Amino acid sequence: ALAWAVREMERRYELLEECRFRDIGGYNAAFDRGEVKAKKGQMGPDGEPRQMKRLPYILVVVDELADLMMVAARDVEESIVRIGQKARAVGIHMVIATQRPSVDVITGLIKANVPARIAYAVSSMQDSRVILGSPGAERLVGKGDMLFQDPTSSTPTRLQGAWVEESEVRRVVGHWRDQMAEGESDKSVLDESPEHAPAAAATPSGFGPAPAAAPSSPSDMITADRPGDDDTDDLLWQAMDLVVSSGLGSTSMLQRKLRVGFARAGRIMDELELKGVVGPSEGSKAREVLLTPEQLAQLRGQS
């Protein structure tokens, strides 16, 4: 979900740059006035006429940072830092929680990019310093007693947190769900796990994926790693037909045309990239289609 939030942040920055707005507030205000419209004849990544949408605010909640840092510390830290540095302007905010405030969980980079902090009762002065940069949390009495470090203040403020029952949490969550139309939830946030992401080697600079090597001939495009399931093979050929005929390497188009989930459509698109049918991902843009209809027909004859 953190990686998704970073991609969504970049997509929103591209949108604001295209529409010439500095932040989400200006964009949404102009959208409400009817001033934000797609260019005539402009197509979206799904191959349909592009439709501009109002940008909702997004809150990313990490309920236990220590668990994530044990699995992929470097990737998690990088995502949190990027979100903390840039995401506010495009309406993406973040709440991070942990029960283990140690320096290997709350790193220096994370602290530098998350200036607003809350500390509940901790067992030692060292833990208090990790969270707040100063002692004090070790003297709290529990039961919602907290210290709040405001980014604009040099000293923390002592506050009392309210007790929230589970029934109240359910009512709030129910209210959020009621505001969302049926089927509107973006399942890609949860479905796209790391093993389903496109494989990417580092570039010489260390950032971003390296460009995929072009196949030497059409016959090299579909050779190895062929799925053994006939249904999967058929789906892959259908995806090739759609991508090559439309000239759009779009995951959302595959999801809509093939009637599959976002995660499966993403895996199919990754498979097409490995086989040289489409180029590497370019953020929110549709992938470049590397195969011509003639080459696809040649491949069908060989298979």
The domain spanning residue 222 has which CATH number?
Answer: 1.10.10.10
Does 79 or 255 have the greater pLDDT score? 79
Q: What is the average pLDDT across 227-249? A: 77
* Per-residue confidence (pLDDT) for residue 184, from 0 to 100: 55
Using CA atoms, how far residue 66 sits from 28, 62, 76, 96, 171, in Å, is: 36, 10, 10, 10, 29
Rank 49-53, 98-102, 299-303 by mean pLDDT and report only the highest.
98-102
Is 166 inside a domain boundary? no
Q: Please enumerate in sequence order all residues whose Cβ is within 8 A of that of 161, keeping only pairs 6 or more positions apart, or say none.
A: 120, 144, 145, 146
pLDDT at 255: 80
Is residue 254 scored above 50 in pLDDT?
A: yes
Q: Check whether 42 has a pLDDT greater than 90.
A: no
- The phi and psi torsions of 284 (rounded to 5 degrees) equal -85, -5
Residue 249, domain member (yes or no): yes
Domain count, the chain: 1
Residue 127: pLDDT above 80? Answer: yes
Measure the CA–CA gap between 83 and 5, rounded to whole angstroms: 8
Residue 28 has pLDDT above 80, yes or no: yes
Q: Which of 1-15, 48-62, 193-207 has the lowest mean pLDDT?
A: 193-207
Q: Is residue 279 part of a domain?
A: yes
Q: What is the mean pLDDT of residues 78-94?
A: 94
Whether residue 126 has pLDDT greater than 70: yes
Residue 68 falls inside a structural domain: no
**Does 99 or 301 have the greater pLDDT score?**
99
- The span from the CA of 250 to the CA of 279, in Å, is 11
Least Cα distance to 18 among 4, 3, 39, 2 occurs for 39
Q: Does any domain span residue 236?
A: yes
pTM of the model: 0.62
User: Mean pLDDT over residues 105-134, rounded?
Assistant: 93
pLDDT of residue 50: 78
In a domain, 52, yes or no: no
Contacts of 19 (CB under 8 A, 6+ apart): 27, 30, 36
Residue 41 lies in a domain: no
Predicted pLDDT at 212: 42
For range 104-117, the mean pLDDT: 92
**Domain boundaries, position 244:** 211-302
Which pLDDT score, from 0 to 100, does residue 45 have? 66
Tens of pLDDT, residue by residue over 194-234, are 444 443 333 333 333 444 444 444 444 443 344 444 556 78
Decide: 2 and 60 in contact? Cβ < 8 Å: yes
What values do phi and psi take at 102, rounded to 5? -110, 165
Residue predicted with more confidence, 124 or 285: 124
- Tens digit of pLDDT for each residue in 143-186? 999 999 998 888 999 999 999 999 999 999 999 888 775 545 55
pLDDT (average), residues 95-117? 92
Is pLDDT at 256 greater than 90 in this prediction?
no
- Residue 199 placed within a domain: no
